[in-house]
């Protein structure tokens, strides 16, 4: 399937403007159904403005209507004209970052670690042209300038494009989805509530029952 632009923003728009199921939206946007549910609940992609896939030329109203009538139907992305004629060259080697923007890398790393924990360090490194050592320092708050780091979207900082960011997030989501399908108990464990600690039984001090017998033993009587 052709990859869509801004999958999370598109999912936000579909949740707000259609009656599609979470599975249909997740399949079209390349996300996990739980991510789409999180978007609907306001726990994921908070503050993200929805991107209309119809005006972007990635989806038609007829395709949405078909999917709304049949929950088993899976929508297809509209293939751009002359798509076969344009084959963008793949960039090789590390990304070059201008000197004026390199000081913003820790801010970008902090934003990615907070908003996209599914991203591996190697993906972050490739995305904004940094080292795994720097990523680890920001993640563990041992960076020399940790007190002044302010999480900032790397796209707004000009360290990467929205397309590159969405591509890496999609890869990470696909990898996580595969792991969850192979090990469903991992997801169940994360949703399992923590059990309360039990109060020790037969513990006079824990229950507050303190008397002469518990302190000194015996019947508490003394010789005249």
Residue-level pLDDT, tens digit, the chain, 224 residues: 456 778 888 999 999 999 999 999 999 988 899 999 998 888 887 778 888 888 888 889 999 999 999 999 999 888 765 444 444 555 554 555 554 456 788 999 999 999 988 899 999 988 888 889 999 999 999 988 888 999 999 888 888 888 989 999 888 888 877 776 776 665 555 444 444 434 344 444 444 455 555 555 554 444 54
pLDDT for residue 216 = 54
User: pLDDT value at position 135?
Assistant: 92
End-to-end CA distance of the chain: 97
Q: What burial letters (b/e) apply to 80-92, b meaning 16+ CB within 10 Å?
A: eeeeeeeeeeeee
Counting beta carbons within 10 angstroms of the beta carbon of residue 183, is it exposed (0 to 12), middle (13 to 18) or buried (19 or more)?
A: exposed
pTM of structure: 0.41
Please give the sequence-ordered ranges of beta strands (E in DSSP) within the chain, or none if there are none: none
Q: Name, in order, each residue with C-beta under 8 angstroms of 125's C-beta and a sequence gap of 6 or more.
A: 131, 132, 135
pLDDT at 101: 56
């Amino acid at each position: 399937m052709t990859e869509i632009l801004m999958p999370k923003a598109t999912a936000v728009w579909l949740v707000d403007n259609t009656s599609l199921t979470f599975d249909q939206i997740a399949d079209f946007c390349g996300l996990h159904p739980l991510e789409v549910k999180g978007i609907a609940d306001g726990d994921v992609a908070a503050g993200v403005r929805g991107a209309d896939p119809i005006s972007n030329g990635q989806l038609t109203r007829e395709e949405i209507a078909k999917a709304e009538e049949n929950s088993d139907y899976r929508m297809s992305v509209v293939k751009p004209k002359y798509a076969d004629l344009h084959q963008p060259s793949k960039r090789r080697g590390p990304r070059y970052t201008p000197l004026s923007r390199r000081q913003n890398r820790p801010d970008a790393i902090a934003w990615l670690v907070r908003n996209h924990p599914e991203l591996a360090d190697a993906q972050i490194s490739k995305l904004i042209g940094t080292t795994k050592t720097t990523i680890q320092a920001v993640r563990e708050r041992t960076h020399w300038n940790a007190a002044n780091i302010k999480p900032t979207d790397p796209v707004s900082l000009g360290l990467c494009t929205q397309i590159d960011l969405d591509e890496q997030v999609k890869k990470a989501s696909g990898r996580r989805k595969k792991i969850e399908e192979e090990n469903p108990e991992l997801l169940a464990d994360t949703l399992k509530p923590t059990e309360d600690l039990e109060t020790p039984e037969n513990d006079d001090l824990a229950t507050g029952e303190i008397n002469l017998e518990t302190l000194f033993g015996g019947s508490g009587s003394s010789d005249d």
